[in-house]
């Protein structure tokens, strides 16, 4: 599966393998190996929780 996501600032289009939410940030996993993974913050959102 190929998933392309535009960053919140609309400056980059990123091919991600997985999308996760940590706190108020949305991260995209770009590459994953046995012990290392590369991720990038795709954007932030306001939460009322």
* Residue 14 within any structural domain of the chain: yes
Specify if 49 maps to a domain: no
Rounded-to-integer distance, Cα 16 and Cα 29, Å = 6
pLDDT < 50 stretches in the chain: none
Give the model confidence (pLDDT) of 30-42 as tens digits. 777 767 767 788 8
pLDDT value for 47: 67
39 domain residue, yes or no: yes
Question: What pLDDT is stored for residue 33 in this prediction?
Answer: 73
Beta-carbon contacts of residue 12 (< 8 Å; ≥ 6 apart): 6
How far is residue 4's CA from residue 21's CA, in Å, rounded to a whole number?
Answer: 17
Structural domain of 9: 3-44
Task: At 7, give phi and psi (nearest 5°).
Answer: -65, 160
pTM of the entire structure?
Answer: 0.58
> How many distinct structural domains can be found in the chain?
1
Q: Tell me the average pLDDT of the chain.
A: 80
């Amino acid at each position: 599966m190929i998933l392309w996501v535009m960053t919140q600032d609309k400056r980059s289009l990123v091919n991600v393998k997985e999308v996760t939410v940590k706190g108020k940030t949305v991260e995209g996993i770009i590459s994953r190996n046995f012990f290392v993974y590369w991720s990038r913050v795709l954007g932030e959102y306001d939460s009322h929780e």
